[in-house]
Structure 1
Amino acid sequence: MKTLTLLRHAKSGWDDPVARDFDRPLNPKGQRAAAMVGRHMKSLGLAFDHVVASPAVRVVETLDQVSHGYGSDLAPAWDQRIYLASAATLLDVVHALPAGAGHVLLAGHNPGLEELVLLLVPDDGGALRDEVEVKFPTATLAEMTFAADHWDDVRAGAAMLTRFVRPRDLDPGLGPDTP
């Protein structure tokens, strides 16, 4: 059995005067949300054998804040392929995950992460899948399990979505209508 947890980067600062999208940092709300998600991950007892992430500034800062809340460095492997990747590219990344890793955290961007969940979880995947289909907000966790022994065996429609946690589920003040 394999478990894949996806983490979308936290809310970034669109008003920051950076020259490249890649360099866009988190805004204060994003920093708070990421730390809250890290605390929630710790409270759930989540542990990862491997962490792989986009090297974009907003993902790096998200994982820094998540680590702060989690109480431990997640020590990600940075993978440029994840930056603004499609679901197909993300699936290639999943297929190449280390064989010995049973629970992996993949941190990146939308729409790729949302599309990956919708690809891997069957249409009749239940209420959580329906929520993903509506919106996969920033700093949200989605956890899927696979009845597979190898990451290369992960296929479309084969996942069970076991967790979908948005920052606003943890603190309503982190919802979309607050600064």
Structure 2
Amino acid sequence: MKTLTLLRHAKSGWDDPVARDFDRPLNPKGQRAAQAIGRHMRALDLEFDHVAASPAARVVQTLEQIEAGYGGALAPAWDQRLYLASAATLLDIVRELPEGAGSALLVGHNPGLEDLVLLLAQDGPLVENVEEKFPTASLAELRFDVARWEDAAPATAELIRFVRPRDLDPSLGPDRG
């Protein structure tokens, strides 16, 4: 049995003048959302044997805020391939995860993360929520009945959890207006 958790970076700031998309920072709402998700991860007692993350600034800052809420370091392995990766690339990364890792966390970007959930998960009510939208700072947890990561395949996972920041605090939902 393997458990894969996917975390999309928190809301970034488009108002900051940066030369590259890679360098875009989180905005204040994104910081609050990431801390809320981190607290929720702690409340659920989520633990990870391996963490891989995009090195983009907004992912680095998301993890800093997640760790503040979670109350501990996640010690990610920074992987450039996760930056704006497609579902196919993400699946390659999943299949390369260390075999000793029973539970892994990937932190990255959309649309790749949403597409990966939809590729891997069997149908169900949580999948319908992902199909609607995989908002920033959302967390999706998939369980595979496999012994090796390399055996992860399309439509073989059960989506056991999908948490959006607005599920924890309505003020972290979409802006109105």
The alignment's TM-score, normalised by the length of structure 2, stands at 0.99
How does 1:21-170 map onto structure 2 within 5 Å?
21-122=21-122, 125-170=123-168
What per-residue deviation string (whole Å, max 9, x for no partner) do you get for residues 41-76 of structure 1? 000000000100000000000000000000001000
Partner in structure 1 of residue 171 of structure 2: 173
Q: In structure 2, give the amino acid aligned to 1:46.
A: L
Aligned Cα RMSD in Å? Answer: 0.9
**How far off is 1:178 after superposition?**
5.9
CA distance in 1, matches of 2:85, 2:27: 22
Deviation at 1:15, TM superposition (A): 1.0
Shift of 1:131: 0.4
Of 68-77 and 169-178, deviating more is 169-178
> Matched residue of 2:6: which SS?
strand
Q: Which amino acid aligns with 2:161?
A: R
**Unaligned runs of at least 5 residues, structure 1:** none
Q: Cα deviations across residues 78-127 of structure 1 (Å, max 9, x unaligned)?
A: 000000000000000001000100000100000000000000012xx211
Q: Matched residue of 1:6: which SS?
A: strand
Q: Match of 1:149, as an amino acid?
A: A
| 2:107 partner SS | strand
| Matched position secondary structure for 2:92 | helix
Paired residues, number: 177
Distance 1:81 1:26 in 2: 21
Displacement after TM superposition at 1:177 (Å): 1.8
Counterpart position of 2:5? 5
Q: In structure 2, what residue type is equivalent to 1:169?
A: D
Distance 2:107 2:69 in 1: 16
Query: Residue 16 of structure 1 aligns to a residue in which SS?
Result: coil
Over the matched positions of the two proteins, sequence identity in percent amounts to 71
